[in-house]
Amino acid sequence: MPDIDAGSDIPEEHSSVSPLRPILLHSEHPAILALSETDSRLARLIRLVGELTLTPSAQPFESLAMSIISQQLSAKAAATIKARVKLAVPEFTPEQVLAVDEAAIRQCGVSFPKIRYIRDLSSKVIAGELRLDNLRELDNEELLRQLTGVKGIGVWTAEMFMIFALGRADVMSVGDAGLQRAARWLHQLDERKDGNYLGQIAPAWAPYRSFASLYLWQAVDQGFVDSGLPIEQLT
């Protein structure tokens, strides 16, 4: 499952928004009831996995910067590097990121391209080109447009931020290979040349496609997808 840090102890000027409460996905949650009614196989997976909690972030700037740093790294390597960066920039604001010498961040293990990306993010936040205080007021399409306007933030990174940092309920990342694998496994779909198995089944999950995705990631993480067994034999 993608890793996006929530961050903590950051001044409010550019980076903080009112935090959302953790979202506890349990059997009586309206989203879970709707998904289970819509898709019987997904319902089985939900029962198999059990309750999940999604905790949105109050610190979108740090979340975005750390998601850039984490790109193309293992979870362990990303955690180590991010911890070093937090020590180098303990007050993680756009101003402080720009104030710190690039060499100091490079010594943390961050590549020069990623340093340029987080500095570009910092500059855009300070200039008001990316408003972090009104992200939750934007619809998914406009938010995606704004986020991908920052160097180093592609569609996948933006979608992960929308799910894990903002707690958006209806984001479907068709570019996520793990989700595609899990969708094919769940519904035992024939191979497609385009690899877009989500395109066959995910529209029915709206407006809760983010929450369905959490369970698909769990199917990968817990080994269900690689077990070779259909969901009916696991429940």
190-225 CB burial, b ≥16 within 10 A, e <16:
eeeeeeebbeebbeebeebbbbbbbbbbbbbeeebb
Question: Which residue is catalytic, options 5, 39, 120, 176?
Answer: 176
Q: Name, in order, each residue with C-beta under 8 angstroms of 98's C-beta and a sequence gap of 6 or more.
A: 119, 122, 123, 126
Q: Which of 118, 120, 116 is nearest to 129 (CA)?
A: 120
Q: Which of 204, 190, 153 is nearest to 35 (CA)?
A: 204
Nearest 5°: the CA angle 92, 95, 99 is 95
Does residue 176 have an active-site annotation?
yes
**What does the DSSP assignment read for 99-114?**
HS-HHHHHTTT--HHH
The catalytic residue positions are 176
